[in-house]
Amino acid sequence: MRTELRRDLTTAMKAKDRTAVAALRSALAAIDNAEAVPSDSLDAVATDGEHVAGAHVGLGAADVARRVLTDGDVRSIIESEVHERDAAAEKYEAMDRADDALRLRSEGDVLRRYLAHT
């Protein structure tokens, strides 16, 4: 699904579709964040750096392993992104901010397409 999201982001950017770009960027960022390894599982102090405590030296020295997400994990993240937009849209509607609510609902609709065919 990530490959499809990235491909569609490129297409949306070329088409200058701000709604799709915002929704897809947000979803991809949420997926990337979910792959991050919690900082408490990393070494607390690295001593590789000569001048800066905790610095890592060399190309790729600071790279850490990422979590591997299942298709179900990614689907749950997309569902959460849709839910967040729907909830925020309701709040905006309650504050009589229909334009903002419409924008969020439109972003949610973009992401719902990925849930429909997975």
| Lowest-pLDDT range of 14-23, 41-50, 52-61 | 41-50
Question: DSSP code of 50?
Answer: S
Could you report the per-residue pLDDT of 20-40, keeping only the tens digit for each? Answer: 999 999 999 999 999 988 766
Residue pair 8/25 in contact (Cβ under 8 Å)? The answer is no
pTM recorded for the entire structure: 0.78
Residue 45 has pLDDT above 50, yes or no: no
What percent of the chain shows pLDDT beyond 90?
A: 67
**How far, in Å, CA of 13 to CA of 11, rounded?**
5
**How far, in Å, CA of 80 to CA of 87, rounded?**
10
The pLDDT of residue 44 is 46
Residue 19 has pLDDT above 80, yes or no: yes
CATH number listed for the domain at residues 2-36+61-116: 1.10.1510
Domain ranges of the chain: 2-36+61-116
Rounded to the nearest integer, the mean pLDDT of the chain is 86
The pLDDT of residue 23 is 98
Taking only Cα atoms into account, the Rg of the chain, rounded to an integer number of angstroms, comes to 19
Residue pair 27/5 in contact (Cβ under 8 Å)? The answer is yes
